[in-house]
Amino acid sequence: MYLYGASGHAKVIIDILRGIDVSVAGLFDDNPDLKQLSGLPVLGKYKAEQQLDLPLIISIGHNQIRQKIAQQLKVNFGQAIDKTAILSPTATVGKGTVVMQGAILQAEVQVGEHAIVNTGARVDHDCIVGDFAHISPGAVLCGNVQIGEGTWIGAGAVVIPGVKIGKWCKVGAGAVVLRDLPDHVVAVGNPAKIIKHC
């Protein structure tokens, strides 16, 4: 596997891959001063149309940046699913997506491409998580929740059953979302209220 982005997020992905015996050949990063991360070589800037002999994961936590890079790269994308994550046999996870330590994906969950299901997040039955979304550590999506493309659910947030959250939203850490949210809004608190557009 290659990684794109020598970040703190990459360190976690490296741990996940090491835990499932997938070796990482190195990381691409635009910062010329970075030479290694977690004992792995930083290979410098990725050159457009560079052919890769291994799949790649974009190891950048920012959803919009991850999307921009994914649209530019013409490579085979891999996945990282931690060995301590619990996935229903009927859950599906798209290419480029990372499922971290202790995350749970219940029956018929669908997680899109280049998404992040972070440490200990719980995604219950029949949820749909869009491409480039991020479910932060300890967040809970109850059954039948839908999360739009690029939406960021903050740490420890709870979304009650059947709620639909639009695209490119930000839900604050600790929020409790009781009602549907439209695209491009920031919502915080319990009960979650929209405070601005984004």
Ligand X SMILES: CC(=O)SCCNC(=O)CCNC(=O)[C@H](O)C(C)(C)COP(=O)(O)OP(=O)(O)OC[C@H]1O[C@@H](n2cnc3c(N)ncnc32)[C@H](O)[C@@H]1OP(=O)(O)O
| Residue ranges that bind ligand X, judged by CB under 6 A | 118, 136-137, 154-155, 170, 172-174, 186, 188-189, 195
Provide, rounded to whole angstroms, the least separation between the CB of residue 152 and ligand X: 7
The arrangement of strands across the sheet holding 193-197 comes to 80-81, 98-99, 116-117, 134-135, 152-153, 170-171, 185-188, 193-197
**Catalytic pick among 114, 125, 184, 197:** 125
Cite the annotated binding site for acetyl-CoA by residue number: 134
Per-residue CA distances from 8 to 39, 51, 66 (Å):
13, 26, 15
Query: Closest residue (Cβ) to ligand X?
Result: 172
Q: How many CB atoms lie within 10 A of CB 162?
A: 12
Q: Are strands 170-171 and 152-153 parallel, antiparallel or unpaired?
A: parallel
CB of 53 to ligand X, least distance (A): 30
Q: Which is nearer to ligand X, 67 or 136 (CB)?
A: 136
User: Considering beta carbons, is residue 96 or 172 the nearer one to ligand X?
Assistant: 172
CA nearest 93: which of 75, 76, 80, 74?
A: 80
- The distance of closest approach from Cβ of residue 171 to ligand X in the complex, given in angstroms and rounded to an integer, is 7
197 has catalytic annotation: no
Using alpha carbons only, how large is the chain's radius of gyration in Å? 17
* In the complex, minimum distance from the CB of residue 139 to ligand X, in angstroms, rounded to a whole number: 8
- Residue number with CB closer to ligand X (19 or 74): 19
Q: Which two tokens stand for residue 29?
A: 């990063």
Amino acid residing at 183: D
Beta carbons within 8 Å of 191's beta carbon, 6+ residues apart: 176, 177, 178, 179
Nearer to ligand X, 74 or 196 (CB): 196
Please give the annotated binding residues, written as ranges.
7-9, 61, 134
Hey, which residues are catalytic here? 125
